[in-house]
Structure 1
Amino acid sequence: MADTATATATPAETTAEATGKKVLIVYAHQSPHSFNASAKDAAVEVLTLQGYTVEVSDLYAMNFKATATAEDINGEVHNPANFQYANETKLAWEEEKLSADITVEHKKLKEADLVFFQFPMYWFTVPAIMKGWIDRVLTLGFAYTPEKRYSQGIFKDKRAMLSFTTGSLESMFSDHGINGDMNVTLWPIQNGILHYCGFQVLAPQIFWAPSRVACDVRDTMLVTWRSRLKGLLAEAPLSFTPSDSFDGETGFQLKLEIKKIHANKEFGLTVGTHMGKKLPPNSWIKAPV
Structure 2
Amino acid sequence: MTTYDTPSQPKKILVVTAHPEPRSLNAALTAFAVRHLRAAGHQVRVSDLYAMKWKAQVDADDFPDHADGGRLDVLAGHERATLAGRLTPDVAAEQEKVVWSDAVVLQFPLWWFSVPAILKGWFDRVFTNGFAHGPAVPPPYSEGALGGRRALVSVTVGARESAFSDRGVHGPLADVLHPVQHGLFWFTGMAPLEPFALYGTVDVSSERFERAQREYGRRLDGLFTDPPVPFRTLTGGDYDREMRLLPGREAPGAHGLGLHVSP
Structure 1 length-normalised TM: 0.82
Give the secondary structure class of the aligned counterpart of 1:167.
coil
1:54-133 map, 5 Å: 54-77=44-67, 81-133=70-122
User: Once structures 1 and 2 are overlaid, which stretch shifts more, 144-153 or 221-230?
Assistant: 144-153
Q: Displacement of 1:195 after TM fit?
A: 0.7
Q: Is residue 24–residue 57 contact of structure 1 (8 Å, CA) maintained in 2?
A: yes
Cα shift readout 1:211-240 (whole Å, capped 9, x = no counterpart): 234321122111211232223221000011
Q: Which amino acid aligns with 1:103?
A: A
| Root mean square deviation, CA, Å | 2.4
Q: Is residue 146–residue 189 contact of structure 2 (8 Å, CA) maintained in 1?
A: yes
User: Once structures 1 and 2 are overlaid, which stretch shifts more, 144-153 or 195-204?
Assistant: 144-153
Are 2:235 and 1:235 equivalent residues in the alignment?
A: no
- Structure holding more helix per residue: 1
Cα shift readout 1:244-271 (whole Å, capped 9, x = no counterpart): 22222xx22234xxx2454xx4133x75
Question: 1:247: which partner in 2?
Answer: 240
Aligned residue pair count: 259
Are 2:255 and 1:266 equivalent residues in the alignment?
A: no
CA distance in 1, matches of 2:231, 2:140: 12
CA distance in 1, matches of 2:22, 2:249: 51
Q: Displacement of 1:74 after TM fit?
A: 1.5
Q: With a CA cutoff of 8 Å and minimum separation of 6, indicate the structure with the bigger relative contact order.
A: 1
Give the secondary structure class of the aligned counterpart of 1:160.
strand
Q: Displacement of 1:273 after TM fit?
A: 5.8
CA distance in 2, matches of 1:137, 1:68: 10
Q: Displacement of 1:8 after TM fit?
A: 7.9
CA distance in 2, matches of 1:273, 1:216: 35
Question: 2:22: which partner in 1?
Answer: 32
Q: Is residue 79–residue 129 contact of structure 2 (8 Å, CA) maintained in 1?
A: yes
Question: 2:171: which partner in 1?
Answer: 180
Question: 2:13: which partner in 1?
Answer: 23
Are 2:199 and 1:208 equivalent residues in the alignment?
A: yes
Cα shift readout 1:193-216 (whole Å, capped 9, x = no counterpart): 111111111111101122234321
CA distance in 2, matches of 1:203, 1:169: 18
Which of 36, 39, 50 is equivalent to 1:49?
39
Question: 1:144: which partner in 2?
Answer: 133
Q: Is residue 202–residue 237 contact of structure 1 (8 Å, CA) maintained in 2?
A: yes
Q: Is residue 6–residue 231 contact of structure 1 (8 Å, CA) maintained in 2?
A: no
Q: Displacement of 1:172 after TM fit?
A: 1.1
Structure 2 length-normalised TM: 0.90
Relative distance call for 1:231 and 1:181 in structure 2 (3 A) is closer
Structure 1: stretches of 5+ with no match in the other structure? none
Cα shift readout 1:56-92 (whole Å, capped 9, x = no counterpart): 0000000000000110112334x95431112101101
Q: Is residue 152–residue 243 contact of structure 1 (8 Å, CA) maintained in 2?
A: no
CA distance in 1, matches of 2:244, 2:36: 43
User: Once structures 1 and 2 are overlaid, which stretch shifts more, 128-137 or 166-175?
Assistant: 166-175
Identical-pair percentage: 34
Structure 2: stretches of 5+ with no match in the other structure? none
Q: Displacement of 1:103 after TM fit?
A: 0.3
User: Once structures 1 and 2 are overlaid, which stretch shifts more, 129-138 or 90-99?
Assistant: 90-99
CA distance in 1, matches of 2:82, 2:205: 48
Q: Which amino acid aligns with 2:79?
A: K
